[in-house]
Structure 1
Amino acid sequence: MGSGGAKDYAAVVLIRIMYSGMHVMSKVALDQGMNPLVFLFYRHTTAAIVLIPATFILERRKAKPVTLKIAWKMFIHALYGVTACGDLFNLGLNYASATSSSALYNVQPVVTFILAVAFGMESMKLRKFHGNVKAAGILLCTAGVTVLAFYEGPMFRSFNHHHLFQQGGSSTAPAGDTHSKKQWVFGIFLMTLSNILAGLWTVLQGPLIEDTSKLMNTTLQISCASVQAFVVAVAAERDYSKWKLGWNVGLAAIIYSVTELLLNSDEMFPSSYSHPELEILN
């Protein structure tokens, strides 16, 4: 294996560890009472606050002009691929577990690849060996994710009885103890829809890059998503006490998720590091 291949595999592992940490922290924040829609608004807004000045500094002299048509495209793609995708995932995470969300997130490259094949952007080539390997990998990945997402085995208790995240002297209850089986399945369904939207969004990003740079594309979409998420959150949560942030795990989860979002974006690193699993699949 060449050094490039080794770096890609290492990047996959590192990124998945970061995503798992984001899912765990987000789940704890939701279990401690944070509204999932408000959480997404804060995440997008914080990312926009960081990206807007960075984009202005880095691209003020070389950026292509943003026409009304381009802005409208960005708004639509942000609506389904960032806002709807994020809201569905957070709502699903509120009903299921961090383990399920991490498992389902790992199938997103498979969903993206299947959609790319459907749109004629990729080919399976089943008559060749590497095509059969791709098909087998897709089936094994889907089977593994299904088991992790739906199977509820015995509860493992930690030998350490001092919980890291506590509120009011009581530990966060597992999702299986606080939600019914129907709610669990509903949460899995919402997160599956989120992954489909994310895969579709990824496939359709190619033409957008021709209109603007990667950094401008991300900044415009995350800014649109911030406004969209605010409208959705205000409509769903009228108790403004739920909007207050304190020095707690909710704030930590927002900062962590924004940091992860920025570190794994195309404009910060080459595409093979942002979505290396797609490069390996090809």
Structure 2
Amino acid sequence: MGEEMQGVRAIEEWSPVIVMVISNVAMGSVNALVKKALDGGVNHMVIGAYRMAISAIILAPFAYIFERKTRPELTFRLLIDHFFSGLLGASLMQFFFLLGLSYTSATVSCALVSMLPAITFALALIFRTENVKDLKTKAGMLKVVGTIICISGALFLTFYKGPQISNPHSHTEVLRHNNNSDQHKTKNWLLGCLYLTIGTTLLSLWMLFQGSLNVKYPCKYSSTCLMSVFAAFQCALLSLYKGRDVKDWVINDKFVITVIIYAGVVGQAMSTVATTWGIKKLGALFASTFIPITLISATLFDFLILHTPLYLGSIIGSVVAIMGLYVFLWGKNSETEASTTLPPWKDNEGQNISNNDNNDSKSPV
């Protein structure tokens, strides 16, 4: 009986980690494929709008079947909350992120998004969902160090290209395309990085906002479906920024159509539900620390599937970023163990104070 209980606890403890890893691996492949589609000149917000619409269509049956009896009443305030959820976590975020992706690359975009834990951590301190006093503990210091290492890996990957370590003969076509577009990429590089940083900040705000929305509306399928519906209309309006030609919405390229469907089902519906569940389980800061896995996934997907040249800077930056992730998780695990396994301690007057009372004052992230 005791072994069964330990097994159940192990599954409960590791299930959020496994789900977040799978979700971010999928997101890395989505970013690489979307970058390939954007290189064909497709309006990036048209992709965003179709992606959101597909997400809503996919999730609607799940929301009806699994949550129709437990779903709370949908008030006007909750509709407004989901409107802003779509604005922060989908439409505006995609507007800046996909625009930045079109100016840079899948690897660089994921590298800059790897700063998400640091940005979320800073915003959590500003909004007081993370206790500043906890930073003085061993667990708090590990979380800070892990975040700094993640940022260092992302910055190293972004600004140091290094020698090519893959076989150049297998990438002749890609290299020729890259040489022809080097001047254009250099011109828009800083602008693309700025857009990506704005998109990452919006994603951080969405994660913090989603943490409070999960309490008021704890239905991951219904919530993500509502968010996708609002975001689809928002993306359609934002598409007017690039052009107002109706032909932009007619896509004949089979590869682009496949990418949009894949991005809608895997990159939006499944990944958003998984992220929302992860935030509900262990907080926004926990969910944000898995972003470096997206970076590694995008780099490998670029190299193995799309045959993009692989450089030494990508390898070193990815390794450093994943090391930072492990250090952060070490700190998070130490914090969890300290709050659940420590015996009751005594205050200055010698009175026992239970760990449960102490936990109630802690932040959920």
The corresponding residue for 1:211 is 216
The answer to whether 1:177 aligns with 2:175 is no
Partner Cα separation in structure 2 for residue 87 and residue 266 of structure 1? 21
Aligned to 1:200: 205
Separation (CA, whole Å) in 2 of partners of 1:196 and 1:159:
39
Flag structure 1 segments of 5+ consecutive residues without an equivalent. Answer: none
Percent identity of paired positions between Structure 1 and Structure 2 = 27
Asked if the contact 1:117/1:123 (under 8 Å) is kept, the reply is: yes
Whether 2:96 is the aligned partner of 1:88: answer yes
Partner of residue 62 from structure 1, selected from 62, 66, 70: 70
Q: Please point out which of 95, 102, 120 is paired with 1:112.
A: 120
Q: What code does the residue aligned with 2:44 have?
A: P
2:32–2:106 CA contact under 8 A, matched in 1 = yes
Q: Distance in 2 between matches of 1:242 and 1:107?
A: 33
In structure 1, which of residues 226, 229, 233 is the aligned counterpart of residue 235 of structure 2? 229
Deviations 1:164-204 (A, max 9, x none): xx9xxx97547962524341111011011111111011111
8 Å CA contact 1:215, 1:267 repeated in 2:
no
1:135 matched to which residue of 2?
144
Aligned equivalent of 2:352: none
- Report which of the two structures shows the higher radius of gyration computed on alpha carbons: 2
Q: 1:106 to 1:135 in 2, by over 3 A?
A: same
1:50 match: 58
Q: What is the 5 A alignment of 1:152-167?
A: 152-154=161-163, 158-161=168-171
Instruction: Select the structure that is richer in helix.
Output: 2
Does 1:256 find its partner at 2:262? yes
Please state whether the residue corresponding to 1:135 is helix, strand or coil.
Answer: helix
**Contact 2:56–2:269, Cα closer than 8 Å, also in 1:** no
The offset of 1:60, in angstroms, is: 2.7
The 3 A distance-change label for structure 1 pair 268 and 209 is: closer
State the secondary structure of the residue aligned to 1:179: helix
Q: Which runs of 4+ in 1 moved over 6 A?
A: none
1:159–1:19 CA distance, 2 compared to 1 (3 A) = farther
Query: What's the C-alpha RMSD, in Å, of the aligned pairs?
Result: 3.1
Q: Which amino acid aligns with 1:150?
A: F
Stretches of structure 2 that go unaligned for 5 or more consecutive residues are 1-8, 291-327, 333-365
| Residue 71 of structure 1, CA deviation | 0.9
**Using a 3 Å threshold, how does the CA distance of structure 1 residues 176 and 185 change in structure 2: closer, same or farther?**
farther
Separation of aligned partners in 1, 2:179 and 2:14: 37
In structure 1, distance between residues paired with 2:103 and 2:275: 33
TM-score when normalising by structure 2: 0.66
Moved more, 243-252 or 194-203: 243-252
Question: Do structure 1's residue 148 and structure 2's residue 154 form an aligned pair?
Answer: no
CA-to-partner distance for each residue in 1:1-21, whole Å, 9 max, x for gaps?
x95566665555433332221
SS in structure 1 at match of 2:148 = helix
Q: Secondary structure at the match of 2:158?
A: helix
Change (3 A) 1:268 1:197: closer
Partner of 1:245 in structure 2?
251
- The question of whether the paired residues in 1 share the 8 Å contact of 2:20 and 2:274 is answered with no
Contact 1:96 1:175 in 2 (8 A): no
Q: Structure 1 residues 82 and 276, CA, compared in 2 at 3 Å: closer, same or farther?
A: closer
In 1, Cα distance between equivalents of 2:204 and 2:62: 27
- Identify which of structures 1 and 2 has the higher relative contact order when contacts are C-alpha pairs closer than 8 Å and 6+ apart: 1
1:99/1:276 CA distance change after superposition, 3 Å: closer
